[in-house]
Chains A and B, each alone.
Chain A
Amino acid sequence: MAGREIRDPIHGFIRLEDGEVKIIDNPIFQRLRRIKQLAFAHLVYPGALHTRFDHSLGAGYVAASMGRALGLGDGEERRWLRRAALLHDLGHGPFSHVSENLLARFAEPTIIEGHGLEEIHELITMQLIKGLSFLEELDRERIIGLLLSEDKAKRPRMVKFLKVHDWPPDPLLKQIISGPLDADKQDYLLRDSYFCGVKYGVFDIARLHNTLETDSEPHEGNILAISEDGVHAVEQYVMAKYYMNTQVYRHRVRRITDAMLTRAMTLGIEMDRIPFLKDLYTYDGSDKFLQNYVEWDDERVTREILQTTGKACELFKRLRERRLFKQIYSKNLNQLEVNIREALSKLSQTQKGELEKKVGETLGFDPLQVMVDVYRIKSAREQVEGSEGRIRVKGKENFQKESALFSSIDIAMQDQYVEIYAPAEYTSEKDKQEKRTRWNGEVERIFEDTLKGDGP
């Protein structure tokens, strides 16, 4: 066998080596074909039907292209790099990120203890890679080493749990897999933009790769950087991240579909007591859990839930028919009174439930179908230098200092919002305005009663 070529709408022909063909032909990887990249975003952008499978192939391609641009040879490091990128999303569950929230919420508490909630799907990815027995053990461990969190508190816990040898990754390879300029982000921005039919996520990837450099970091070795000539390409890339966040990932209707989906699954477990949903999300780290987990995808969950009769089914029917909930309240937090603003910015799950109950009872909606959503739009600065570190310009300052664009705007600006969704119906624009005005007052009275607490 001499590898395979796959035509991809974003990158053209993607060439896969024999070992990579074995990976993608594995049923666990093929399952990613049935998990949409952006869950129900196609209800907003009809073209957004692409999957984790396409994205994984794309991430592998981009990682390889970055490796080539940086002069990495054809040796084992390049193999680990490509395969780590190819496998980085292997543990994604049905409806992608919606599953992450549910895993975090319903995992066995004894497993969660000592692990950050966000780690559950990462652990699943590593466990699945560990189980790909057709790969050499050393390859599997090196790939896991590249995908594991670098966090000093998390990494040893995960290594212990997975019972693998810890291979601290080469920082350059690590940054290609996970960092402010990683292959994952580069692929999903271009891909999501293409399939959503928007231009916000477009940047000049060829130019960006053309300006990739390595810089040295004492005690760490070579790290990823760009040349001074790459500053404009990175500006475009950072703006793409910012616009995709504000225009696509945080799109109002997309937030509503995600909230409905999460609520449907939660009610399916807690109220309807659907056994397969409980089994799917009660992560206990066992092989039995994993064997079941990889049998599920978007289609199967939808089909099975539609065969039930409870609250989850009701919401799935609405999603299928695009009878979406409406936004009944929306405010920038800074428009609210200080105590309420402070309380909303750190709302607990219990407080959220209490608010939803009161809003439902007061406004005449089923409280189980009222959803309070507090979120924030990251600042442009966080897009440049978030928790993954800064973008280095070789022999110079960091990107932010070198960019005339980014050094001249107030990129710390960001906002937090509170929104409430419910199964509201409007008969006309006038009816909508009247209801929204009335509900606005009612909701803020509820905030006052519920959240003001020990304020002045």
Chain B
Amino acid sequence: MNLTPQEIVLVTVAEADNRTIQGRTLLQKRLYFLDVLLGLGLSYRPYYYGPYSPLVDSALGELQALRFLEEHQRDFDAINEEGFQVRRYDAELTKDGEVVVGLLKRRKPSDYRAMAKGLQGLQTAKEPDYATLSIAAKIHYILTRQAASMTVEEIQKVGKELNWKIEDRAHRLQKAIAFLERLDLVKQGS
């Protein structure tokens, strides 16, 4: 794969529904799995909300500076656990961004196809909502780092040590594991 982080982010937004990614968490976590599946070299590290790539974040900023993407802030009435109003930044492809995506398709057709196929693969595996996807990324990161079989409780314990919330609210934990199974990234034992 010969794509820069900027090109990877651009393709990911271009291939999303309505050419928009709803929130930075969704972008980070979707690309986490794409990085796992395609080896994109995005250097994910553990951070507050799970694995995080500074390269993706920086690329997002550069693409905005070039006006190929626009971020729209959306404030929700809900209040999060920390007492702040829930705020989301949606990344949307601009008209100029569409032109650049067109150029990319012509210049690097096989890389573009591989990315699009990878993203399609996540949809085929029924990619869950961003919160569940985030839990799936945390679980996968912990399992990969421990390189051993773990029970859900053990994963939650390590998650707690990392200050990561891996709670089973709204059955998210099971949904996350099911998603990882569909991607063939984990196997549940008896």
Contacts and interface: CB of A to CB of B under 8 A. Distances in A.
A345 B102 CA distance: 17
B58 A456 contact: no
Interface string A343-354: 001100000000
B60 interface: yes
A378 B60 CA distance: 12
Contacts of A387: 54-55, 58
Contacts of A218: 158, 161-162
Interface stretch (A7-15, A60-68, A315-323, A334-342): A334-342
Contact of A333 (B66, B99, B161, B162): B66
Contacts of A455: 99, 103
B170 interface: no
Interface stretch (A81-89, A238-246, A257-265, A413-421): A413-421
A412 B71 contact: yes
Nearest to A398: B48
B58 A386 contact: yes
B58 A454 contact: no
Given A387-B58, A398-B48, A454 B65 contact: no
Given A376-B62, A398-B48, A454 B107 contact: yes
B65 A397 contact: no
Contacts of B102: 456
A379 B43 CA distance: 20
Interface in A381-412: 381-382, 385-387, 389-390, 397-398, 401, 407, 410, 412
Contacts of B174: none
Nearest to B107: A454
A397 B71 CA distance: 23
B60 A334 contact: no
Interface in B48-76: 48, 54-55, 57-58, 60-62, 64-68, 71, 73
B82 interface: yes
Given A387-B54, A454-B106, A342 B66 contact: yes
Interface string B65-103: 111100101000000001010000100000010011011
Given A386-B54, A387-B54, A454-B106, A415 B65 contact: yes
B61 to A, nearest CB: 5
A106 to B, nearest CB: 25
B47 A390 contact: yes
Given A338-B99, A401-B82, A455-B99, A412 B64 contact: yes
A339 B162 CA distance: 44
B64 A414 contact: yes
Given A333-B66, A338-B96, A345-B66, A385 B61 contact: no
9 contacts: A334-B66, A338-B68, A341-B67, A342-B66, A387-B54, A389-B54, A397-B82, A415-B65, A416-B65
Interface of B: 4, 6, 43, 45, 47-48, 54-55, 57-58, 60-62, 64-68, 71, 73, 82, 84, 89, 96, 99-100, 102-103, 106-107, 145, 158, 161-162
Interface of A: 151, 217-219, 333-334, 338-339, 341-342, 345-346, 376, 378-379, 381-382, 385-387, 389-390, 397-398, 401, 407, 410, 412-416, 454-456
Given A382-B61, A389-B45, A455-B99, 8 more contacts: A334-B65, A379-B61, A389-B47, A410-B73, A412-B60, A413-B65, A414-B64, A454-B107
